[in-house]
A = this chain, B = another copy of it.
Amino acid sequence: MKKKRVAIDMDEVMADALGKLIRLYEEEYKVPIDREKLTGYYLEEIVHPDNRSAIRRYLYAEDFFEDLDIISDSQAVVKEMADRYEIFIVTAAMEFPDSLRPKYRWLQKYFPFIPWSHYVFCGDKSIILADYLIDDHAKNLVNFSGEPLLFSSPHNAQETRFTRLNNWQEVAHYFLSDR
């Protein structure tokens, strides 16, 4: 039987971009970010307006995506999923063209069991043909032709339109338990 195909987003799903942004911001401005204020918001929206452009500056830096931490349990769960599903990594990398090479290296390093033929670096994810898409952005899920799955991130806390998976344990339960 043909394996079902699962497309998985990178940032905030596999790679902790938000964690690095917070760290860089706290280092530069010497003020702690109140994590609770992030519920329902992007980091840019809760920092001091004068410092907002710093977030973009971090994201556009050539090495930003090079050394992001891995979101807890994503490696182990994706590895197990890869036996039962056809896994594609789908990331909206085009907004940050300097991220293309670092994102490729990051995937090779941390998810070596996913072949490069199954990487997709794109912009508009409505081009993706898959059975499932795990993503933290509603805008990517809303036009998806398969089953959309919202991976929880502070900014999407108020989103209610999609099946929500709060963490990789819930992803494992959704895809790997014998339902």
Chain A residues within 8 Å of B, Cβ to Cβ: 5, 7, 88, 90, 93-95, 97-98, 100-101, 104-105, 115-124, 126-130, 145
List B contacts of A93 (CB < 8 A).
121
* Other A-B pairs, 20, CB within 8 Å; known A95-B117, A100-B121: A5-B127, A93-B121, A94-B104, A94-B116, A95-B116, A97-B101, A97-B116, A98-B101, A100-B101, A115-B123, A116-B123, A118-B127, A119-B122, A119-B123, A120-B120, A120-B122, A120-B127, A121-B121, A127-B128, A129-B129
Partner of A117, one of B88, B123, B145: B123
Q: Are A88 and B127 in contact (CB under 8 A)?
A: yes
Count of this chain's copies in the oligomeric assembly? 2
Q: Are A117 and B97 in contact (CB under 8 A)?
A: no
List B contacts of A129 (CB < 8 A).
126-129, 145
List B contacts of A119 (CB < 8 A).
94, 122-123
| Sample (22) of A-B pairs whose CB atoms are under 8 Å apart | A7-B127, A88-B127, A93-B121, A94-B104, A94-B116, A95-B117, A97-B116, A98-B101, A100-B121, A101-B101, A115-B123, A116-B123, A117-B123, A118-B127, A120-B120, A120-B127, A122-B122, A126-B129, A127-B129, A127-B130, A128-B129, A129-B145
List B contacts of A116 (CB < 8 A).
94-95, 97, 123
